[in-house]
Amino acid sequence: MEIFKEMAKEGHEQIIFFQEKKTGLKSIVAIHNTVLGPGLGGCRMWPYKTEEEALKDAMRLSKGMTYKSAIAGEDFGGAKTVIWGDPETDKSEGLFRVLGRYINGLGGRYSTGTDVGTTYDDFVILNKETPYVGALPKEYGGSGDSSIPTAYGVYNGIKACCKYKYGSDSLEGKTVAIQGLGKVGYKLAKHLLEEGCKVYGTDIKEEYLERARQLGVDIVKTDEIYDIDCDIFSPNALGAVINDNTIERLKCDIVAGAANNVLAEPRHGEMLHQKGILYAPDYVINGGGLIQVADELGNETYSEERVMRKCEGIYNQLLKIFKLAEEKDIPTHAAADHIVEERIETIATIHRIK
């Protein structure tokens, strides 16, 4: 990869590589845009096949965080950490403390928290070396489990999709196929079942499947989730699941879930648009976790009530995006991008006034 060329193309300000021999840490922090405020974004730990794959993931995810913060109306920029390693075997106290030292060295330019492959316990350790951590457990003075507002935001977003697509936001009798039954997917399934949905689900972890099965989710094989005849396909695991191979298999009216970077490429949003499938832009509908961390870091006192009210606002934000997309006859992800870029340009102009 031509890193500087790719940074210029995607608008990144800074990419930092960290390594430490004793602990085996290999990590990348990508800071995308800090016009709105300091970078904010979780830390993902994953056994990437190559350095380039890890770098691409960090860059893609950090840009998504810029857009997620902007669309949510928060005054934070976008950034992300990836750790190149297996979360099942490579974690240690030393690894997260070293990473905490490195992040602390950025002087508040970036704050982090949990993501795929990391847990709240990891960041209790990291917090020993830096205060720039969000969504710590409540017993450690943090705001707690960020998957709660994330799932609630996705639930409200799905209701908005149904309101736009069907004329009513009632979910009773709707069929939803959930890909990923982890921290967010499981809580989302609870919301949907409580409102009378028929829910199918899948995951790669057997313990997640068993927990969801007991909840009342009909479990299907991992690859079969794309073929379910449903109203809503809800991706809640890793990204790039809407691609050339899967779009033709989808039998749904709506794609709406908590996964980041759901579209493998922007053109896949255009393909959904052409097929008449309503897409809730991922960084809009899954913004609940960011809203929580932004409230924790951006205010003297954290307010759960304030956070959940903002998550309910995802409903109206999506309806605004859908209306703009209809007026301009453009895909919904392009309409969301337009709103984000307009806000960033406006704030940049304001910041130039001395």
Which residues are catalytically annotated? 80
The two three-digit tokens of residue 191, written as one number = 């919301």
- Does 11 belong to an annotated binding site? no
Which residues is 232 bridged to in the sheet? 176, 254
Spatial separation of the C-alpha atoms in residues 218 and 252, rounded to whole Å: 17
Q: What is the end-to-end Cα distance of the chain in Å, rounded?
A: 39
Helix (H), strand (E), coil (C) string for 46-94: ECCCCHHHHHHHHHHHHHHHHHHHHHCCCCCEEEEEEEECCCCCCCCHH
- Does 284 belong to an annotated binding site? no
- Does 183 belong to an annotated binding site? yes
- Does 154 belong to an annotated binding site? no
- Does 184 belong to an annotated binding site? yes
Spatial separation of the C-alpha atoms in residues 152 and 255, rounded to whole Å: 16
| CB atoms near residue 301 (< 10 Å) | 7
- Does 157 belong to an annotated binding site? no
DSSP 3-state assignment of 180?
coil
Q: Are strands 232-235 and 110-111 parallel, antiparallel or unpaired?
A: unpaired
Question: Which residues, 6+ apart, have CB-to-CB distance to 274 below 8 Å?
Answer: none
Give binding residues for NAD(+) as ranges.
180-185
Point out the annotated binding site. 180-185
